[in-house]
Copies of this chain bind each other. A is one copy, B any other.
Amino acid sequence: MRKRLPTQKLTIYEVADEAGVSIASVSRVLHGKDGVSDATRERIRGAMHELGYVPSGAARGLASKRLGVIGLIFPDLDDPSAESGHETLLYSDEVIRGAERAARAQGRAILIAATHSTSARELALSVAGRVDALVVMARSVREADVRMLADRVPTVLLAGGRRLKGTDYVGVDNVGGARAATQHLLEHGFEDIAFMGGPANSPDARARFAGFREALAAAGLEAPDRPEVHGNFTERGGAAAMDELLRLRPRPPRAVVVGNDQMAVGAGAFLAETGLSVPEDVALTGFDDIQLARYVTPPLTTVRQPMRRLGEECVRLLLRRLDDPEAVPQTVELATELVVRQSCGCPADGSELVIDEPAIRSLASGGPAVRPKAPVP
C-alpha cells in the first residue's frame, strides 16, 4: 500500500484519478452496479485498495438519503453512582445484541444512545438525524418526542405497551407470563401470595401485576389493587422491597411473585440473611430469565422473555418499513414461557419448561398477518 504522507483528503476523486476514470465509474463499482467493463472495474478496485480508500458515510448519506444505520435509544436505568457496575440491566444488552445481529445481516450498523432523564429529548433528536430508522425502548423518550421522531424516520416502540399511530410495536406478553408464574405457585397450594412490583413508571411492570391479579381472580382468591411493595428492578431494590414486605406483614407471605429476576435475586438474598429459606418458607418467582437465574441458590423459577429476539424483531419490522414505506405499522407480541426451577418449590430433578403461549401473536393493524417465527424450543 503506497504511503500517502498527507494522510487525509482521500476522496472518490483521488481514486478516480488514480484509476484514470471519472468519479461516476468509481461510484458504480462502489455499489457493485453494472455498467462498467471488467477491465476498468479491476483497475478501480486496485486503486481503491492501493490508496486505502474509505468512502465517507456522511457524504453518501447526504446524497443517497440512506445512512445504513439504525438507531437504538434506551434508558440508562443504571445508577451511575453504583460503583459495583454490576447492577446493569442485562435486558438492554441482550436487545442490543439481537438488533445488532439482525442489522448487520442486512449490512446495517447500530447506533446506540442511552437517555439519562435530562436531555433525553435533544439526544433523541441528534440520534434521529443520523439514522434511517429508530428503535425506542420504553421509558427512554417522552411520548410527545417520540411522535416527532416517528414523524421523521420509521420508528418501532419496544415494550412499554404504548402504541402510537404510525409506529411499529414490539413487546412480550407480560400479562400471560405473570399469570403463568402465579398459577404455578397456586398449583403448589400456596394461597398467601404477594407481588413485588417494579418502578411505578414501568408499564411492563404494571402488566405483570395485572397477570398476577388475573391468576388470583381465576382461582377465586382476593387480589389487592396494587402491589404491596415496589422495587426499582435492581438487586438492591429487591432486597429493600423484601425488607419492607416483611415489615408490612405480621408473618411472611408463603410466596412472592417478583417483578423481575434481578429483584428476585436480591429478595432471595435478603430472605437468606433473615434466616428464612427459599422455597421452604417463602417461594419466589422472577421474570426475564437472565443468565443469573440458573445459578443462584436455589435456581430461580421465572418467566423467560426472548430479549435478543425482541431486538431482532424490531430491526426486522424497521427494515420492512424501510423497504416499503407504505407498509402498515404492525404490533408484534412475543410469547413468554415459564421456566420451572426450584425457587418455587419444585424438586431439583426434571427441570421442566412449560411453553406459555403457542407462538407469536402478531396483530397487523389492518394488514395481513406476518409470518411468525417458530417459538423458542
Contacts and interface: CB of A to CB of B under 8 A. Distances in A.
Nearest to A48: B125
A149 B53 CA distance: 10
> Which of A57, A62, A149, A376 neighbours the largest number of chain B CB atoms within 10 Å of its CB?
A57
Contacts of A97: 78, 88, 93
Contact of A112 (B76, B112, B294): B112
Interface string A254-297: 00000000000100000000000000000000000001101111
A126 interface: yes
A83 B149 CA distance: 34
Given A62-B62, A377-B83, A101 B114 contact: yes
Nearest to A4: B151
Interface of A: 1, 7, 10, 52, 54-62, 67-69, 76, 78, 80, 83, 85-86, 88, 90, 93-94, 96-97, 100-101, 104, 107, 109-114, 116, 123, 125-131, 147-149, 151-152, 265, 291-292, 294-297, 307-308, 376-377
A58 B55 CA distance: 13
Contacts of A149: 54
Given A67-B130, A100-B112, A110-B113, 12 more contacts: A54-B149, A56-B129, A57-B126, A58-B129, A61-B61, A68-B126, A76-B101, A88-B93, A93-B93, A104-B116, A109-B126, A110-B111
Contact of A100 (B62, B114, B307): B114
B7 A57 contact: no
Given A58-B58, A123-B104, A292-B292, A112 B114 contact: no
Contacts of A152: 10, 52, 54
Given A56-B62, A149-B54, A100 B113 contact: yes
A131 B85 CA distance: 27
Contact of A109 (B60, B127, B297): B127
Nearest to A128: B54
A324 B72 CA distance: 30
B67 A58 contact: yes
Give the 7 A-B CB pairs with smallest separation, nearest first.
Answer: A57-B130, A58-B61, A57-B129, A93-B93, A58-B62, A86-B291, A52-B148
